[in-house]
Amino acid sequence: MPLSIVRGDIVKMKTDAIVNTTNNAMQNNGGVCGAIFKAAGAGDLQRSCDRIGGCKTGSAVATEGFNLSKHIIHTVGPVWQGGNSGERNILYACYRNSLTLAQKHECESISFPLISSGANGYPNEKALRVAIKAIGDFLLENDMTILLVLRKDTKFSLSGKLHSSIQKFINENYSDEQHTRISQLEFEALRETKTSYKQPNETQTNGTGVVLEPARAEVFSPENLRRVAKQAAETFPKMLFRLIDERQDRFPKDADVYRRANITKSVFSSIRSKPNYQPARNTAISLAVALELPLDITLDLLGRAGYTLSPSNTHDLIVRYFINEKEFDIFKINETLYQYGQSLLGASMK
């Protein structure tokens, strides 16, 4: 997945580059920085930092990763002073400068801590919002696997206005009922098959008194249902690429779609090359969001893969909320999903 938010220990991430939050003198200052120095080899890493001599706040420099990774990228985050001293712009620059440097060193993957959220006092919610914005902006133009690694004890709370709006939407739309929903393919198949189905023991005549053979039960068999369903309507890939073609002026290149969907180029290419490709559920939802589809067309597209957005599922209601609000920034949606403890939108291994 291009952007994934995980909880864990950054020194255990297997990426080409690890980002270290350091001070201007690039000295081992304990905390996450101390853990990175220890994992890489403190003496070797400190000597490498000393040769560089320092790093300005908001800037980024790279050293060898030694025992930790191919590269360690060092950046100096801002100290929180209330939010009116340019902290946001500096923090945004930390991420973008680090990503640009990783790209220069031909890194395909990188792990970030939540910069400035520890000893520098940057509020977790605000730090997360800046991180996702900066990384999201980069991923709309570039391909890279990015992990945002949060400490297990990092806590968040949604902003009051957004939380109230989402909670109101959930309360008004949540259903305790169990919904059984068949896809459009299955519906068409049932309709086609039902018109020709007769009970196995039922006899018929042809109008001349000649008894016809009973209709065979296998007409309604799962095999026939699948065959009729396949013929009944577009598959998920066919409908997806028809919608993309219809929006050619909005999405002229494949990258315009898969980057907005937060999925990899390889997953998107597999969908394009395989007419009966079965996407993972979050991948299917991500593509609907990327294409900025209204809810009815979203549900139609998801139905082609056998999915829906359930009114009894918090994750799906949050997605519905953003679709209703015509807010299709997948990184903003993922920020909210993460803070509600829900799975993020984007590609899985499937």
Indicate whether 348 belongs to any domain.
Answer: no
Which structural domain, as residue segments, surrounds residue 133? 3-156
Per-residue confidence band for 176, with pLDDT thresholds at 50, 70 and 90: low
Indicate whether 165 belongs to any domain.
Answer: no
From the number of C-beta atoms within 10 Å of its C-beta (0-12, 13-18, 19+), residue 125 rates as: middle
Show the tokens assigned to 103: 């790209």
Phi-psi region of 60 (alpha: psi -120 to 50; beta: other; left: phi over 0): beta
Show the tokens assigned to 154: 């990092």
One domain, residues 107 and 191:
no
One domain, residues 68 and 128:
yes
The mean per-residue pLDDT over the stretch 283-288 comes to 97
Paired residues of 146 in beta bridges? 3, 110
pLDDT in tens, 177-199: 544 444 444 444 444 444 443 44
Q: Which helix (H) or strand (E) holds 194?
A: helix 184-194
Domain at 78, CATH number: 3.40.220.10
The three-class DSSP label of residue 280 is: coil
One domain, residues 216 and 252:
yes
How many distinct structural domains can be found in the chain?
2
Q: Are strands 145-150 and 109-113 parallel, antiparallel or unpaired?
A: parallel
Backbone angles phi, psi at 114, to 5 degrees: -80, 95
DSSP string, 36-53: HHHHH-HHHHHHHHHHH-
One domain, residues 329 and 195:
yes
Q: Please give the share of the chain, as a percent, with pLDDT higher than 90.
A: 72
- What does the pLDDT read at residue 332? 93
Indicate whether 171 belongs to any domain.
Answer: no
CB 228 within 8 A of CB 192: yes
The mean per-residue pLDDT over the stretch 6-18 comes to 96
Indicate whether 163 belongs to any domain.
Answer: no
One domain, residues 120 and 191:
no
Which of 41-50, 76-85, 146-155, 208-217 shows the lowest per-residue confidence on average (mean pLDDT)? 208-217
- Rounded Cα–Cα distance for residues 66 and 68 (Å): 6
Single out the residue in 138, 156, 174 at which a domain terminates.
Answer: 156
Show the tokens assigned to 265: 């180029």
One domain, residues 10 and 143:
yes
Q: Which amino acid is at 99?
A: L
∠ Cα 114 10 69 (to 5°): 120
DSSP classification of residue 57: B
Single out the residue in 110, 139, 156 at which a domain terminates.
Answer: 156
Nearest to 325 by CA among 350, 295, 285: 295
Most confident listed range (8-22, 142-156, 190-204)? 8-22
CB 232 within 8 A of CB 185: yes
pTM of the predicted protein model: 0.80
One domain, residues 8 and 150:
yes
One domain, residues 144 and 194:
no
Show the tokens assigned to 252: 């002229």
Single out the residue in 136, 156, 176 at which a domain terminates.
Answer: 156
pLDDT in tens, 220-249: 566 666 655 555 568 999 999 999 999 999
One domain, residues 331 and 278:
yes
